[in-house]
Structures are given as C-alpha cells and as structure tokens.
Chain A
Amino acid sequence: MADPPAGQLALSGAECTSGPSKLPRTDLMAVSPQTATLRPYLNAVRATLQAALCLENFSSQVVERHNKPEVEVRSSKELLLQPVVISRNDKEKVLIEGSINSVRVSIAVKQADEIEKILCHKFMRFMMMRAENFFILRRKAVEGYDINVQTQAGGLRHPLHGGDRQGDQRDEAVR
C-alpha cells in the first residue's frame, strides 16, 4: 500500500487546530518545542496503529467454540506481537500491544499538576465504568497508563454494533 509522505497525511477532526495547521511544517518547528512534537507524535501513533490493526478472526486454540481476544488471554506466544511504545515525552506515551485477533492501546495522558491528575482520574473512571456502552474501552487501565482501548477482529467488521463476535461464527457455519 503506498504511503503518502508524512506532510500530506490528512488530519482527522480531533487533531485540527485552527492556527498552526495552516502553517508549513518548518514554521511549526519554530513555534514552541511542545507543539512541535504533537503532529509527529500523532502521525507516528497513526502509522503504528495502521500496522498493528491487521486482525483476523481467530478462535481460541485452548477451548473449542470460544473466541477470545488473545492480547488479553495471552495463551500462546506465537499469537502475540511485540508491544511497542511511542512517547512524546516521559509523561505522555501510547503503548500498543497487538496480537492475531485483537489490539490493546494504552494511553498515558499528560497530567501537569495535582488538579489535572484528579480530573483525569475522575473522567477516565467515569468512562471506564460505562465501558460496556463504549464497546472498545477496557474496564481497567493497564498499570502505568490512564485508559485502554481494545478491539477485536469482529469489532472492526461491524463497527455500528460494536462487534457482533458470535455473529462471525454463525456466519461461517451458514456459509
């Protein structure tokens, strides 16, 4: 798949800021060291996710008729990919663990002072308690990170339904 040069990657809505995005990249480097790392950081995370999100449906090798996310179960080393970290500085980083049928993304959010720590903790807790409605959130964050996003192969195929995993197996039987 051809990869466009980094400067031409389209920005998603969440990353667009009104001012700096209209400047050419070299100017962005001169603005401030902090904002200068944001775009390369997001691009690096996007590229790594693109590589890690190659998933296929893979039933459990241990229990028949079960389909478990291998990144959670970690039953066999051959099914797991190398975990990879992308860090912007020592406070902000993203850990991406992949496997054959699932990917877990752990995000450490920047918390500059006590009040931000408390706010972040409360907000993440609010979202993680309602993880069932979000489908891709994990109920508990991995040690050292603030929030986890986890998805399975079936989840990518039916995004509206948040992944009808049982449906995948039923489809294959019918075919």
Chain B
Amino acid sequence: MSKNTVAARFRRVDVDEYDENKFVDEEEGGENQLGPDEAEVDSLIRQYPSVTRLALQAVLKNPPINTKNQNVKDRAEGLVLKVLSAFKSSDIEKGVQSLDKNSVDLLMKYIYKGFEKPSENSSAVLLQWHEKALAAGGVGSIVRVLTARKTV
C-alpha cells in the first residue's frame, strides 16, 4: 500500500480547471442593450409604407447580442419579423441592397432565428429573404452566422 495515506486531498483537485489552454467563453455584460426601438420602427412602417427599407435599417440597429435576457431577444425577433413581412416580394431585393455588409450578416442571423419558430406564413417570407440575403452576402454570411459565439 502507499505510504502516504494521510494527504489525499490532491486527488479531489479538478486539474482541467487549471489548464491554461482551456477555452472560456467570453461573457461580456450587455445588460443595457435593449434591442431595436419598437416605437421608432412602428412609426416608420406607418409613415412610409412604400419606403420600407427605412424601417429595415431602423430595426437592424441595436441588436441584443450580448444580453442574456430572453424577452429582449424575443421582442427583437418579433419586431424584425414584422418588418420583413411588411415588404412586398419585389422590394426585398432593393431592401437588401440598401444594407451594408454587417447588416446583411445581422439580417441572416435574424432570418435563421426566425426559422426556429415557424408560424403561419413566416417561413415563406423568411425563405424569400434568405435567398436575397444569400445573393448579397454569399456563403460567407452563412458561415458567419454558424461561427458566431453570440447569437442575436
């Protein structure tokens, strides 16, 4: 038997915790991120029913990426879905063209998030948007959605 039967506490140490190469997910505090402004977006939809890309740009501001509050994320997703459904099929392409690269990536994230909760007609709309956003952003935008550590 081993001589040292007294000091056995070292056996309970979790060595993996102290591994310096261990991957730690960064947890940035994002409690003040509120998501897109609902009032602003609603007013834009009402005021300019034909110029819906203003509403699109407004709703893609302030994405609730860092916050852990699920309600904020759900509310943002609902708002984005509302704006996306308000577009006419022919306007979708122009709407996507008016966005810059980061906004296209963000739009892709929202599209995939919207696919997770399919409702009445949402998937059809989202599929159309997906096609146009893919044409604008390429496969790279999908890769950035897959590899993002923080989802919208």
Q: Report which A residues bind B (CB closer than 8 A).
A: 1, 3, 5-6, 29, 33, 36-37, 40-41, 43-44, 47-48, 50-52, 54, 76-78, 81-82, 84-90, 93, 98
- Chain B residues whose CB sits within 8 angstroms of the CB of A33 once the complex forms: 124
- Complex formed: what's the CA distance from A84 to B108 in Å? 11
Shortest Cβ distance from residue A52 to the other chain B in the assembled complex, whole angstroms:
6
DSSP majority for the B interface?
helix
Judge whether B130 and A84 touch: CB under 8 Å: no
How does the 8 Å CB contact mask read for B118-152 relative to A, with 1 for contact and 0 for none? 11000110011011001100110011011110010
Judge whether A6 and B134 touch: CB under 8 Å: yes
Residue of A1, A36, A41, A85 with most chain B CB atoms under a 10 A cut-off: A85
B89 in the interface (beta carbon within 8 A)? yes
- Chain A residues whose CB sits within 8 angstroms of the CB of B138 once the complex forms: 1, 3
Shortest Cβ distance from residue B55 to the other chain A in the assembled complex, whole angstroms:
23
- Complex formed: what's the CA distance from A43 to B142 in Å? 13
Judge whether A82 and B145 touch: CB under 8 Å: yes
Judge whether A87 and B134 touch: CB under 8 Å: no
| CB nearest to B128 among chain A residues | A40
- Complex formed: what's the CA distance from A48 to B131 in Å? 11
